[in-house]
Structure 1
Amino acid sequence: MSLKSEKEFPKEDVEEGLDEREWKSREGAKTDELKKATIEEPERRWKPPPPTWIKCNTDGAWNKDSGEGGMGWVAKDHQGNLVWTGARKLSRLRSALEAEAEALKWAIQTLSGFGYAQMIFETDSLALKRLISGEETMSLTLKPLL
């Protein structure tokens, strides 16, 4: 058995290697040229609340295999100063959405209990936002939470 190539390669491609020539000819392969790092300010996405208000960001996490998760929240004033924070482990959860709802519920209860009346709550869960705003119907398991 013999293998036969239908394409003939030029002698110079075989001797030096076409890939090697292409690599050497590229601008990026030159070592005498250094690129300077650019220093950019990170995009600031958190928007402060109005003066005399506090803003609370909540989050929840869930592990499907164990049914466990966690939740947390951070409350800041209009200058971005930390006012209160909370985090705890959760067990016997049925979904990530349930963890998100538990985090929001706990933050509302805690901050209301501290006497705050002017509060803004923010979640990263679009599904939870839609349920609260009535854009989607709520399951029976989540109704008691919200």
Structure 2
Amino acid sequence: EFQCSKAKDLEEQLRDLESVCNKNTDLESQLENQREKVSQYLIRIKNLEENLAETVSTKQNLLEEKQCFTERITELESQCSKEKDLEEQLRDLESVCNKNTDLESQLENQREKVSQYLIRIKNLEENLAETVPTKQNLL
């Protein structure tokens, strides 16, 4: 009976040991599953970090492009303002040229009139010269 009791105790201990082994196996399996999940999370974190770095780089590039576009727009606005100033100056110059053309035309008309007056004066002088000797002959 003593041996029977010992055998029962040993069997019970063996069952307890098997139960502990089974629990350990389950826990090891759970631990392995958790390790796999942690590994997957670490991979996801690494991928997210890479995506974030790429996004930050892209954002920086976009900011630089925006700055370049802003500078170009400022240059174009300045150029447009200069072009408008030049167009205004051109209109003023065209107005001056038109006025100059009018003045040249008026000057030409005046020259023509002076030329006609000179011809009339010459004709009058010739008539006078012809008339004066005739008067002297009469005297």
Identify the structure with the greater strand proportion: 1
Identify the structure with the greater helix proportion: 2
Q: Which has the higher contact order (CA 8 A, sep 6+)?
A: 1
TM beyond 0.5: no
Q: Normalising to structure 1: TM-score of the pair?
A: 0.15
